[in-house]
Chain A
Amino acid sequence: MSAAPLLKVRDLGVTFRTGDRVTVASTEVSFDLAAGEVLAVVGESGSGKSVSALALTRLLPPAPTCEVVGTIELAGRALTGLTEAALSKVRGKDIAYIFQEPGTSLNPVYTIGFQIGEAIGLHRPDVTDVRAAVLAALRDVHIDDPARVADSYPHELSGGMQQRAMIAMALACDPKILVADEPTTALDVTIQKEIMDLLARLRRERGMSILLITHNFGIVANFADHVQVMRKGRIVEQGPTAQVMGSPAHEYTKGLIACIPRLGQRRHRLTTLKDELKVS
Chain B
Amino acid sequence: MNAPAQPLLEVRDLSVHYPGRTTWLFRKGPPKKAVDGISFVVPRGKTVGVVGESGSGKSTTGKAIIKLAPLTSGQLLYEGQDIGALSDAAFKPWRKKIQMIFQDPYNSLNPRADILGILSEPLEIHFPELTKTDREARCAELLTSVQLSPDFLRRYPHEFSGGQRQRIGIARALAVQPELIICDEPVSALDVSVQAEVVNLLQDLQAKLGLTYLFIGHDLAVIEHVSDHILVMSQGRVVEQGTPAEILGAPREAYTRRLLAAVPKF
Contacts and interface: CB of A to CB of B under 8 A. Distances in A.
Contacts of B244: 266
B99 to A, nearest CB: 23
Interface stretch (B11-19, B72-80, B120-128, B256-264): B256-264
Contact of A215 (B192, B220, B262): B192
B203 interface: yes
B260 A263 contact: yes
Interface in B199-238: 199-200, 203, 218-222, 224-225
Given A189-B220, A221-B264, A272 B191 contact: no
B200 A272 contact: yes
A263 B196 contact: no
A158 to B, nearest CB: 9
A219 B258 contact: no
Given A44-B191, A256-B193, A192 B225 contact: no
A44 B264 contact: no
Contacts of A278: none
A64 interface: no
Nearest to A192: B262
A264 B203 contact: no
B260 A269 contact: no
Interface residues of A, number: 36
Interface in A175-194: 188-193
A259 B264 contact: no
A273 interface: yes
Nearest to B203: A269
Contacts of B264: 193, 196, 216, 218-219, 221-223
B224 A263 contact: yes
Given A188-B53, A192-B262, A218-B264, A270 B199 contact: yes
Interface string A238-269: 00000001000000000110011111101101
B192 A256 contact: yes
Interface residues of B, number: 32
Contacts of B195: 259
B112 interface: no
A23 interface: no
A259 B199 CA distance: 11
Given A218-B264, A273-B193, A159 B54 contact: yes
A264 B199 CA distance: 17
B249 A264 contact: yes
Contact of B53 (A190, A196, A262, A263): A190
A141 B177 CA distance: 52
A45 interface: yes
Given A44-B194, A259-B192, 19 more contacts: A189-B53, A189-B262, A190-B53, A190-B262, A191-B53, A196-B264, A222-B264, A223-B264, A260-B221, A261-B199, A261-B224, A261-B225, A262-B221, A263-B260, A263-B263, A264-B224, A266-B225, A266-B244, A271-B196
23 contacts: A190-B259, A192-B262, A193-B261, A196-B264, A215-B192, A216-B264, A217-B192, A218-B265, A219-B264, A220-B266, A221-B266, A255-B193, A256-B193, A259-B192, A259-B195, A260-B221, A261-B196, A261-B221, A261-B225, A263-B248, A263-B265, A271-B196, A272-B193
